[in-house]
C-alpha cells in the first residue's frame, strides 16, 4: 500500500560538526523501533558530483552503498543505526543537482525559459527530496541538510525546504534545527545567544524551526529551555537537550529520554502508542561498555591523522568488540612512518594488524613491511582492498622471491605485476564514479577459513577499486601457500586470499566494513577480533 510519507528536515546552526547525522540517525532509530519505516537522506552543498574524487582529508571516508554510489560518511551512520541499506537517492550534492538541471537545459527541456536557481534548481532539489517518499516504502523520510544555516551554498536547500513545508502542509513536514549552546567558563554560564541568532537566520529565509535540538556540554536547565522557547518561537517541550555522549550509540537513548521522538510524532500527527523496542540495541551497549578484555589492533593507513578517514572500519571494530566482549584499542599507525628498522618495535605489542584501503604510492612500502611482520610473527592480519593487494605483493616478493613485484598502480614497469588494472578499467579515462563499485557476488571455497566464518558459500560484498589480483600469478602464489578462497563466479576475479598455515591471515578485495551494523556486526571483523583476543591470551586460533 502506498504510504502518506511524512518529512522531517534537519538543519544545523552556529557551527558545523554538531552531529546532525547522529541526531538524524538516532531519531530514525527510535521511530523505526516504534514500527515506522524510516529512511534518511543527506543533501550536501558542495559542487563535487559525489565525494568519490575527494581526498579523505577533506570530508573523511567515502562510503559506498549496495548500488555503488560513492557517498558522504553519514550514510554509514544511517546504515549502522537502522540496519537497512541506503542507495544513491540517499545522498545528493549541489553538483548532482546542477548536473541534472544543465543536462535538461541542453536537451531543451525548459522550452526556452531562463534557467534560474528559483524555480529550476529548487524544483530539482524538491524532486530529489521526494524520490524516496514517492517509492511508497517509507512512513517517514528524514532529510539532513549539510552545512550550516547562513552559508551561501546552503541557501537553495533552505529555500526548497521552505517551499516544501507549504506544499506538503505542516502536519506532513517539520524542521528540526540543531544548534550549539556553548558554556562560557569565565561566566560560568550556558549561552543561548548563538542559537537565537541562528534561528533568526533561518527565519530570514522563511523557515521557522519546529524543534530545537541543542548540543551542550552541560545539562540545560528549565530556565534556559524557557528562554530558548521564548526567543525562538517554539514551546518548551520542543527544546531538546543533546548532551555530549560517551559514545554515539548512547544518543538514541538520550533522545528518547528527552522525548524527541514523541514531539516529532505529535507534530506529524502520527500515532504514539508504542514505546521503541530497544532491547537488542541496549544489549549491544551493555556488552560494549563492559568489556572483559582489551586487544591492541594496529590500523596501518596513510590518512590516520584524521580518524574519520577510516570511520566504517573503526565502527566495525566497535560492533565486533562488543560481540566478543572486548575493548578494541585501535593503534593508529602512519604507513609512511614505518621502516624495516622500526617495524618490530612499533608492531610487536599488537594483537592484530589491519592494513587499510587506500590509493596511490604514498606509504605503501610501510604497509608491505607491516604485512611481512604480521605474517612472519603469526600476528592476526586483516587486509582490506589495498591492504589485501599489499599482502599479495609482500608474499610475492618475500616468499616467491619475485623481487620488485608490485601493483601497476604504483609501478607500471614492474617485472611482476601481481596486482594489475582490471580489464574493464583499461579504457577508462575519467576518475569520477568509474571504479568497480557496489555489491558484487563472491563464492567462497569449501574448507576455507572465510567459508567457516561466513557459514555461507555465496556472499555479496561492496567494492571500490580499479586494480585486481593478476590471475597469471595465481598458480605460483597458491603453490607457495597463499590461497584464493573467494572469487567472483562470473569473472574469476580474486576476492579473498588467505594463508592457511598462519593463525589468521585474510585479505579481501572488497570492503566488509561498509556492511557492519550495530545489530549485524560483520562476521569477518567479529572473527578477526576473536583471533586478536586469542593472540592476547596466548590461545591457539582454530577453524
> Pairing state of beta strands 211-216 and 173-180?
parallel
Whose Cβ is closer to ligand GLN: residue 9's or residue 469's? Answer: 469
464 binds ligand GLN, rule: CB under 6 A: yes
Q: How far is CA 27 from CA 90, 124, 258, 478, 496, in A?
A: 16, 26, 11, 49, 37
267 binds ligand GLN, rule: CB under 6 A: no
**Among 77, 120, 177, 511, the one annotated catalytic:** 511
Size of the site for ligand GLN (CB under 6 A): 10
For residue 356, the minimal CB distance to ligand GLN (Å) is 8
Q: How many CB atoms are closer than 10 A to CB 328? A: 26
**Among 385, 409, 442, 502, the one annotated catalytic:** 385
What character string, x for contact with ligand GLN (CB under 6 A) and - otherwise, covers 134-173? Answer: ----------------------------------------
Which range in 307-315, 352-360, 437-445, 522-530 contacts ligand GLN by CB under 6 A?
Answer: 352-360
For residue 464, the minimal CB distance to ligand GLN (Å) is 5
For residue 437, the minimal CB distance to ligand GLN (Å) is 10
For residue 176, the minimal CB distance to ligand GLN (Å) is 34
Over the range 226-248, which residues count as b (16 or more CB within 10 Å of their CB) and which as e?
A: ebbbeebebeeebbbbbbeeeeb
Which of residues 140, 386, 392, 482 is near ligand GLN by CB under 6 A? 386
Q: How far is CA 162 from CA 120, 122, 124, 207, in A?
A: 15, 10, 14, 6
Which range in 158-166, 220-228, 345-353, 465-473 contacts ligand GLN by CB under 6 A?
Answer: 465-473
d(CA 431, CA 210): 42
Whose Cβ is closer to ligand GLN: residue 61's or residue 159's? Answer: 61
SS (HEC) of 381-437: EEEECHHHHHHHHHHHHHCCCCCCCEECCCCCCCCCEEEEECHHHCCCCCCCCCCEE
**Among 120, 144, 513, 522, the one annotated catalytic:** 513
For residue 467, the minimal CB distance to ligand GLN (Å) is 3
Which range in 146-154, 214-222, 458-466, 480-488 contacts ligand GLN by CB under 6 A?
Answer: 458-466
Which of residues 301, 358, 380, 521 is near ligand GLN by CB under 6 A? 358
Whose Cβ is closer to ligand GLN: residue 372's or residue 465's? Answer: 465
Which of residues 467, 505, 514, 525 is near ligand GLN by CB under 6 A? 467
For residue 275, the minimal CB distance to ligand GLN (Å) is 42
In the residue annotation, 511 being an active-site residue is answered as: yes
Is the N-terminal amide bond of 156 cis, ω within 30° of 0? no
Strands (E), 13-62: 38-44
Q: How many CB atoms are closer than 10 A to CB 399? A: 17
d(CA 391, CA 372): 8
Q: How many CB atoms are closer than 10 A to CB 383? A: 28
For residue 370, the minimal CB distance to ligand GLN (Å) is 15
515 binds ligand GLN, rule: CB under 6 A: no
For residue 301, the minimal CB distance to ligand GLN (Å) is 10
Q: Are 288 and 245 a contacting pair, CB within 8 Å?
A: no
466 binds ligand GLN, rule: CB under 6 A: yes
- Where in 206-225 is the site for ligand GLN (CB under 6 A)? none
Whose Cβ is closer to ligand GLN: residue 264's or residue 364's? Answer: 364
Whose Cβ is closer to ligand GLN: residue 247's or residue 434's? Answer: 434
For residue 387, the minimal CB distance to ligand GLN (Å) is 7
The strands making up 467-469's β-sheet, listed across from edge to edge, are 406-407, 417-421, 467-469
d(CA 391, CA 502): 13
Whose Cβ is closer to ligand GLN: residue 234's or residue 388's? Answer: 388
List, as one string, the DSSP characters of 129-191.
HHHHHHTT--SEEEEEE-S-TT-GGGHHHHHHHHHHHHHH-TTTEEEEEEEE--EETTTTEE-
In the residue annotation, 33 being an active-site residue is answered as: no
465 binds ligand GLN, rule: CB under 6 A: yes
385 binds ligand GLN, rule: CB under 6 A: yes
Whose Cβ is closer to ligand GLN: residue 312's or residue 351's? Answer: 312
d(CA 538, CA 531): 10
Whose Cβ is closer to ligand GLN: residue 227's or residue 511's? Answer: 511
d(CA 477, CA 419): 12
- Where in 417-456 is the site for ligand GLN (CB under 6 A)? none
359 binds ligand GLN, rule: CB under 6 A: yes
- Please give the torsion angle defined by the CA atoms of residues 218, 223, 225 and 227, in that order, rounded to the nearest 10 degrees: -120
d(CA 204, CA 285): 42
d(CA 324, CA 371): 25
Which range in 24-32, 189-197, 337-345, 357-365 contacts ligand GLN by CB under 6 A?
Answer: 357-365
For residue 303, the minimal CB distance to ligand GLN (Å) is 12
Over the range 59-87, which residues count as b (16 or more CB within 10 Å of their CB) and which as e?
A: bbbbbbbbebbbbbbbbbbbbbbbeebbb
Q: Are 239 and 229 a contacting pair, CB within 8 Å?
A: yes
Grid coordinates belonging to 491: 569473472
Catalytic amino acids?
385, 511, 513
Contacts to ligand GLN by CB under 6 A: 357-359, 385-386, 409, 464-467
Amino acid at each position: 500500500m502506498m504510504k502518506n510519507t511524512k518529512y522531517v528536515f534537519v538543519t544545523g546552526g552556529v557551527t558545523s560538526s554538531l552531529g546532525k547525522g547522529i541526531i538524524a540517525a538516532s531519531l530514525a532509530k527510535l521511530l523505526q523501533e516504534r514500527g515506522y519505516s524510516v529512511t534518511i537522506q543527506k543533501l550536501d552543498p558542495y559542487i563535487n558530483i559525489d565525494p568519490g574524487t575527494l581526498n579523505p582529508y577533506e570530508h573523511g571516508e567515502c562510503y559506498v552503498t549496495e548500488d555503488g554510489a560513492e557517498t558522504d560518511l553519514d550514510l554509514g551512520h544511517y546504515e549502522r543505526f537502522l540496519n537497512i541499506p541506503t542507495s544513491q537517492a540517499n545522498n545528493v550534492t549541489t553538483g548532482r543537482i546542477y548536473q541534472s538541471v544543465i543536462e535538461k537545459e541542453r536537451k531543451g527541456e525548459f522550452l526556452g525559459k531562463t534557467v534560474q536557481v528559483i524555480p529550476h534548481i529548487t524544483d530539482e532539489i524538491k524532486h530529489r527530496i521526494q524520490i524516496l517518499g514517492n517509492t511508497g516504502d517509507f512512513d517517514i523520510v528524514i532529510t539532513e541538510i549539510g552545512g550550516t544555516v547562513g552559508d551561501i551554498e546552503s541557501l537553495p536547500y533552505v529555500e526548497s525546504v521552505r517551499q516544501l513545508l507549504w506544499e506538503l502542509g505542516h502536519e506532513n513536514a517539520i524542521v528540526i534545527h540543531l544548534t550549539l549552546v556553548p558554556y562560557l567558563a569565565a561566566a560560568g554560564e550556558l549561552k543561548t545567544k548563538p542559537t537565537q541568532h541562528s534561528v533568526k537566520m533561518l527565519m530570514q529565509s522563511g523557515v521557522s524551526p519546529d524543534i530545537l535540538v541543542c548540543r551542550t556540554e552541560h545539562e540545560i536547565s528549565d530556565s534556559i529551555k524557557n528562554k530558548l522557547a521564548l526567543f525562538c518561537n517554539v514551546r518548551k517541550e520542543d527544546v531538546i537537550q543533546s548532551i555530549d555522549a560517551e559514545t554515539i550509540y548512547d544518543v538514541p537513548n538520550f533522545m528518547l529520554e528527552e522525548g524527541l521522538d514523541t514531539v516529532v510524532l505529535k507534530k506529524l500527527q502520527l500515532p504514539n502508542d508504542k514505546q521503541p523496542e530497544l532491547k537488542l540495541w541496549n544489549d549491544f551497549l551493555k556488552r560494549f561498555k563492559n568489556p572483559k578484555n582489551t586487544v591492541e589492533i594496529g590500523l596501518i593507513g596513510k590518512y590516520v591523522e584524521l580518524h574519520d578517514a577510516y570511520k566504517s572500519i573503526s565502527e566495525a571494530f566497535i560492533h565486533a568488540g562488543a560481540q566478543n566482549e572486548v575493548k578494541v584499542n585501535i593503534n593508529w599507525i602512519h604507513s609512511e612512518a614505518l621502516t624495516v628498522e622500526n617495524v618490530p618495535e612499533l608492531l610487536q605489542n599488537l594483537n592484530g594488524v589491519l592494513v587499510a584501503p587506500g590509493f596511490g604510492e604514498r606509504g605503501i612500502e610501510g604497509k608491505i613491511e607491516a604485512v611481512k611482520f604480521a605474517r612472519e610473527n603469526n600476528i592476526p592480519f586483516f587486509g582490506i582492498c589495498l591492504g589485501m593487494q599489499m599482502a599479495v605483493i609482500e608474499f610475492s616478493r618475500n616468499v616467491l622471491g619475485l623481487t620488485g613485484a608490485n601493483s601497476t598502480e604504483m609501478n607500471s614497469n614492474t617485472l611482476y605485476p601481481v596486482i594489475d588494472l582490471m580489464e574493464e578499467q583499461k579504457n577508462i579515462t575519467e576518475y569520477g564514479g568509474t571504479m568497480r563499485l557496489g555489491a558484487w557476488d563472491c563464492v567462497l571455497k569449501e574448507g576455507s577459513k572465510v567459508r567457516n566464518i561466513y557459514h555461507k558459500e555465496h556472499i555479496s560484498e561492496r567494492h571500490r577499486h580499479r586494480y585486481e589480483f593478476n590471475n597469471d600469478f595465481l598458480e605460483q602464489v597458491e603453490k607457495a601457500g597463499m590461497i584464493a578462497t573467494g572469487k567472483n563466479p562470473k569473472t574469476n576475479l580474486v576476492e579473498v586470499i588467505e594463508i592457511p598455515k598462519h593463525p589468521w591471515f585474510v585479505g579481501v578485495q572488497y570492503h566488509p566494513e561498509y556492511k557492519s551494523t550495530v545489530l549485524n556486526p560483520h562476521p569477518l571483523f567479529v572473527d578477526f577480533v576473536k583471533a586478536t583476543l586469542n593472540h592476547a591470551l596466548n590461545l591457539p586460533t582454530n577453524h
